Chain A
């Protein structure tokens, strides 16, 4: 069964495979047959308790019925709906039903949306180049000037019957000189575009880097060994790193990862981390950073680039610069990150940016159905060495990890569970219509 199939469709397929009637499964799961029918047709989303009961009745693992993969499909479909501007608008309230009843069409639509976004970015980049690239602008100006001269001179030669011999010679000379100049300018332009063509790949350099890192699980073993060349990972010319810009970003990433690994060697970090998580006190990055004598940002980067370790949860990381632009995204399942454009302004990442030196810890809840909870840690610090002269560059980092009991700080005896901070991915695809931080309407809210 495809991983993108929704829970209802999976339940129905599993039930039929076992030759079980809908009424029988409903009875075993403790729900009415009509309610189960709605769920099987993705017209209602199954609560987690029901998924567990159904999984038990079908004798399968509950995880095989969860919607994580379907969430990605629904998110892509929601984005497609947000971009369409069609009238009447897509029936967002029936999006799950659509994905469940027509999984092939839904996957195709999501794929088209992905391609459309990629092409939009290419157009944007080419447009930027046309507008701002001084080399291209100068090359085009040279060509247009030569063409103008050739056209005007050729018209004079063609349309003037009584042209004096000296003028005739003069214009012949000009047109010859301009045609040579035009050929040279055209060759230079072609050479420039050839050299620059590698920059017009499907992804922005940052995305190329992230795609390459994703293939490696965001962990490159060679950064662990101080004696090896950290940049060796680039020698085989990874296909994802198609542009010079992305290769430069990859070199910077590897150098930084090597420095992080030297300051936080795996041989010491892993036992410290597992001991901390096993002690019941939750995840305390500030304590770890203090023990190792490193900044929180460095610890965050290191945790988000560790190899899979037993007993250690998965980590996501987002980094932004002083303008709030996301400069690095290491995704973590269940926490949607915007592919481009601005992120959710409520993220602790931005709160930390407003108060450098004062880290932020928050329990956040995603704007997805079902909602997922994450523990977020954010800290901002100067990027590069501290200095007295501007420009002063800041960088904020936010570490994310699923809010499982293992990482949560213990509650006091009489303390209430913390209220989660509602966050989204970006305003456009966030349904929290009454959010005070909203900067643009959401199509989902309507």
Chain B
């Protein structure tokens, strides 16, 4: 199931249970500035935590949980950044990244890869496939936020 959160300050956001709620108070000038980030992650609670963190930083966050149609989702939403899990149902994150890097319209989109395997082999594979950055789970929220800001504004 896909979810979307509005990035504008004071906007209505919708938690994963579908109940609409007003977002909490946020600073007026936020680093995200409403730009879109697509989180492709099949763990709903991780997705929700990332969505909350990024939304508070001013990003519009879209989530997607399935590897099979993830590329179509990337193409359709024109994100400023993709946060991509490696182990996804239907299609691996490495595979999705590879196709993105061979796709003229998606080649320039920065990709932050997440994986539960922090092994050197996975890091190398992610970098060879064209990841902009690799982050091993579990990660700290601050670290994730810093990486997102750095990748989009680089």
Contact = CB atoms under 8 A, between A and B. Distances in A.
Interface of A: 140-141, 144-145, 147-149, 151-153, 155-156, 159-160, 162-164, 166-167, 170-171, 174, 177-178
B29 interface: no
Contacts of A145: 43, 46, 116, 137
B114 to A, nearest CB: 8
Contact of B15 (A147, A162, A170, A178): A170
A147 B24 contact: no
Interface size class of B (residues with CB under 8 A): 20 to 34
Nearest to B49: A152
Contacts, number: 71
Given A148-B43, A167-B21, A155 B140 contact: yes
A153 B49 contact: yes
B46 A149 contact: yes
B141 A148 contact: no
23 contacts: A141-B87, A144-B117, A148-B46, A148-B116, A148-B139, A149-B45, A149-B49, A151-B138, A152-B50, A152-B139, A153-B45, A156-B52, A156-B141, A162-B24, A164-B21, A164-B23, A164-B24, A167-B21, A174-B45, A174-B48, A174-B49, A177-B45, A178-B45
The 6 closest A-B pairs by CB, nearest first: A152-B49, A144-B116, A148-B138, A149-B45, A148-B137, A166-B21
B116 A151 contact: no
A171 B44 CA distance: 12
Contacts of A153: 45, 49
B109 interface: no
Nearest to A152: B49
Contacts of B46: 145, 148-149, 152
The DSSP consensus for interface residues of chain A is helix
Given A155-B140, A167-B24, 13 more contacts: A144-B116, A144-B117, A147-B138, A148-B139, A149-B45, A149-B49, A152-B49, A152-B50, A152-B141, A160-B56, A162-B25, A163-B24, A170-B17
A149 B43 contact: yes
Nearest to B21: A166
Interface in B7-62: 15-17, 19, 21-25, 43, 45-46, 48-50, 52-53, 56
Contacts of A159: 141
